[in-house]
């Protein structure tokens, strides 16, 4: 019989969007899936921009009466957004119990399998032979620190090691090399793999716009964060981390910094 999670409240923390029409659809779907996977005291979504706000999620988690409060960063790196924005917002809530902050989605070891599968499927659906196709891993990047680019390059390196594509490269929305510039390198087939957690404007619109603007012979996978398999990855991480989460040191645990 599976061990009970009834004394554990889980908050999935994401960047979110400011746009009034933003739905955070994928995030909410993962929350619903996780609620059905185990007998948690509750599972909540909390975003830094938009609704539901991270403060609201943490308050609901505390009100559940759970003795363990977990915060899973639905983010692709442990950069400024996690280390400063999320942590500061959590601290400002003055929770009665210290939340256990887990490593972010983008550093999950199992994510590479999901990324690889999505890239190969996209290539084959487009009629591309992966062994003759360039894989372009597209991430946000940031001018505020190198963690976002580092996580994207790390994923690209692991994908290159799998040897499934003719070559593997990276490109960013927020720093060089920009996606449009990397798409213009050659006219051969390209799979653009979205190393994004959210399904907002940047992930959904900016990348396809760059493909259209360059006329590249490319297909886009969409953001990896929208993949249904993400909930499986989160649940497996929680199961494997159970002993550490419930140890006396769990309140001091935080994601790794690079």
The answer to whether residues 122 and 184 belong to one domain is yes
Residue 2 resides in a domain: no
The answer to whether residues 233 and 192 belong to one domain is no
Q: What is the predicted pLDDT for the residue at 89?
A: 96
Q: What is the predicted pLDDT for the residue at 251?
A: 41
Residue 257 resides in a domain: no
The answer to whether residues 157 and 243 belong to one domain is no
CATH number of the domain residue 15 falls in: 3.40.50.1400
Phi-psi region at 71: left, alpha or beta (left = phi > 0; alpha = psi -120 to 50): beta
The answer to whether residues 101 and 113 belong to one domain is no
Q: What is the predicted pLDDT for the residue at 257?
A: 39
Q: Which alpha helices (DSSP H) does 38-110 contain, by range? A: 54-63, 80, 87-92
Residue 75 resides in a domain: yes
Taking the C-alpha atoms of residue 140 and residue 120, their distance in angstroms, rounded to an integer, is 22
Q: What is the predicted pLDDT for the residue at 24?
A: 85
Q: What is the predicted pLDDT for the residue at 22?
A: 59
Q: What is the predicted pLDDT for the residue at 248?
A: 43
- Asked whether 155 and 116 are in contact (CB, 8 A), the reply is no
Residue 201 resides in a domain: yes
Residue 1 resides in a domain: no
Predicted TM-score (pTM) of the model is 0.91
The answer to whether residues 47 and 158 belong to one domain is no
The answer to whether residues 95 and 146 belong to one domain is no
What range defines the domain where residue 74 resides? 8-106+228-252
Provide the 3-class DSSP secondary structure of residue 204. helix
Domain count of the fold of the chain: 2
Residue ranges of the chain whose pLDDT lies below 70: 1-2, 18-22, 246-258
Q: What is the predicted pLDDT for the residue at 253?
A: 41
User: Which pLDDT tens digit goes with each residue over 78-128?
Assistant: 999 999 999 999 999 988 888 999 999 999 999 999 999 999 999 999 999
Residue 196 resides in a domain: yes
Q: What is the predicted pLDDT for the residue at 117?
A: 97
């Amino acid at each position: 019989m599976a061990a009970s999670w009834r004394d554990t409240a889980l908050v999935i923390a994401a960047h979110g969007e400011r746009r009034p029409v933003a739905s955070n659809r994928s995030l909410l779907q993962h929350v619903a899936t996780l609620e059905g996977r185990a007998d948690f005291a509750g599972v909540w979504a909390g975003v830094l921009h938009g609704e539901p706000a991270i403060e609201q999620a943490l308050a609901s988690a505390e009100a559940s009466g759970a003795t363990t409060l977990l915060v899973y960063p639905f983010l692709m790196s442990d950069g400024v957004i996690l280390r400063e924005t999320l942590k500061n917002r959590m601290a400002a809530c003055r929770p009665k119990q210290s939340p256990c902050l887990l490593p972010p989605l983008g550093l999950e070891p199992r994510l590479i399998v999901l990324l690889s599968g999505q890239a190969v499927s996209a290539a084959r659906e487009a009629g591309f032979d992966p062994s003759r196709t360039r894989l372009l891993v597209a991430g946000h990047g940031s001018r505020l620190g190198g963690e976002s680019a580092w996580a994207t390059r790390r994923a690209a390196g692991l994908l290159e090691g799998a040897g499934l594509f003719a070559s593997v490269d990276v490109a960013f929305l927020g720093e060089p090399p920009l996606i449009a510039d990397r798409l213009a390198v050659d006219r051969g087939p390209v799979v653009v793999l979205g190393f994004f957690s959210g399904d907002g404007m940047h992930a959904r619109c900016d990348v396809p716009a760059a493909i259209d603007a360059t006329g590249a012979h490319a297909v886009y996978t969409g953001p990896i964060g929208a993949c249904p398999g993400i909930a499986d990855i989160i649940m497996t991480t929680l199961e494997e981390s159970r002993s550490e989460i419930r140890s006396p040191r769990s309140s001091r645990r935080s994601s790794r910094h690079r």
